[in-house]
Structure 1
Amino acid sequence: MPGDVWLDEVKSGLRSAFTWHGDRTDEHFYADVTGWWRRPELLGSLGPALAQLFADQQPTVVLGPESRGCLLGPLVALHFDVGFVEVHKDRVVSSDSDAWLRRTTPPDYRDRHLSLGFRKHLVGGGDRVLFVDDWIETGGQAHGAHLLTQDAGATWLGAAIVVDALSSNQVRRHLNVRSLLHIREL
């Protein structure tokens, strides 16, 4: 099946398995993406579809934040035949003697400042990093991961995202965000 037709089918599947809950004026209004995980053909195509957004690059590692980035990231990593590193949020390191890289994010979609981190030895100076997540609204978590990538001495390739809800083109360009869908398509 030609790439563009296949990608159009993936996007159509994402739209049909997506639901908004509540009224747009309600503070509890939210996007429900759980239908994406229930459809095996859609779930199986998400890794290759997100990887296709960066087909012109060759990452050596994929980063994904807890929780949905940890579902999607490994699917993309498998497509590129590279490893995956989980970006932990607000992880308390109690008995872990490993060195960690940590950064505090700018405000995220819930206006929280999160502490992001991963074990220092997992990303190094020769790595080419691709960040993967399901949704980007403020870019706070992607920005934090970008700073962690710089702290590790690695190269940031960009962010492969299912839904781009950014209002800032500047953030989109700075983080090199590429997405399957824009929020207006939902």
Structure 2
Amino acid sequence: MEPDLRAALRHALRWTDPGPAATHLVSDRSGWWRDPAVLGRLGAALGALHPRPDVVVAPESTGFIVGPLVAAAVGAGFVEAYRPRPVPEPMSWGTASGDHRGADVTLGVRAHLVAPGQRVLIVDDWVTTGAQLRAVRAALPHAEIVGAAVIVDESPPAVAAELGVRSLLTGTDLDAVE
């Protein structure tokens, strides 16, 4: 990946203090979406991290921003992975435990949009525990998952290896961001 995109991602990220009861700062990624130069290059950069998929799947909500960018860049379709809600058609649901709050994550895709054997790239903006990626994988038991492409990977190395995570930045890259 181009070093200037990495620098632009780092520069556009801000950390915010949610208040006195907070135990840590919260990332503000809105600068990524606001910068047209960053936004225009994210899809191709993330898409280049894995072999070309048939379809890109991304969890709501910020995955709905980066997923279509990647899909368009690699010439694939895009499918949303929703949190639980009533959907008036058959869904394929997957659940995984252990998000960053310790809670279970359930995500679902419209069952008819990913055929058995299709090559799927899972895309998201940030991964820490891998729970969202696992939930998407669980919702697609008959697909061929080619891996996961994320902007920032803060997951443990064993999680990244298990889920095929490749990223543009790591948590270490963000240590100097203020």
TM, length-normalised to structure 2: 0.91
CA contact (8 A) 2:95 2:134 kept: no
Specify which of 126, 137, 146 is matched with residue 146 of structure 1: 137
Query: C-alpha separation between the residues in 2 aligned to 1:53 and 1:37?
Result: 20
1:172 aligns with 2:167: no
**RMSD of equivalent CA atoms:** 1.5
Alpha-carbon deviations, 1:51-110, whole Å to 9, x = none? 1111xx1200000100111100000000111100000012233xx1x2110112212122
CA contact (8 A) 1:90 1:114 kept: no
1:46 aligns with 2:35: no
- 2:102 alignment counterpart: 111
Q: What SS class does the counterpart of residue 174 from structure 1 fall into? A: helix
1:16 aligns with 2:11: yes
Specify which of 151, 156, 162 is matched with residue 145 of structure 2: 156
Query: C-alpha separation between the residues in 2 aligned to 1:148 and 1:80?
Result: 23
- 1:31 alignment counterpart: 27
- 1:78 alignment counterpart: 72
Specify which of 81, 85, 88 is matched with residue 91 of structure 1: 85
Instruction: Report the CA distance between 1:28 and its aligned residue.
Output: 5.3
Query: C-alpha separation between the residues in 2 aligned to 1:44 and 1:91?
Result: 31
CA contact (8 A) 1:133 1:161 kept: yes
CA contact (8 A) 2:93 2:138 kept: no
Alpha-carbon deviations, 1:151-175, whole Å to 9, x = none? xx11001100000011x22211110
Q: Which amino acid aligns with 1:80?
A: V
Q: Matches of residues 128-147 of structure 1 in structure 2 within 5 Å? A: 128-147=119-138
Instruction: Report the CA distance between 1:148 and its aligned residue.
Output: 1.7
Query: C-alpha separation between the residues in 1 aligned to 2:105 and 2:158?
Result: 22
Query: C-alpha separation between the residues in 2 aligned to 1:62 and 1:146?
Result: 12
- Percent of aligned positions that are identical: 41
Query: C-alpha separation between the residues in 2 aligned to 1:86 and 1:132?
Result: 10
CA contact (8 A) 1:91 1:117 kept: no
Q: Which runs of 5+ in 2 are unaligned?
A: none
Q: Which amino acid aligns with 1:52?
A: A
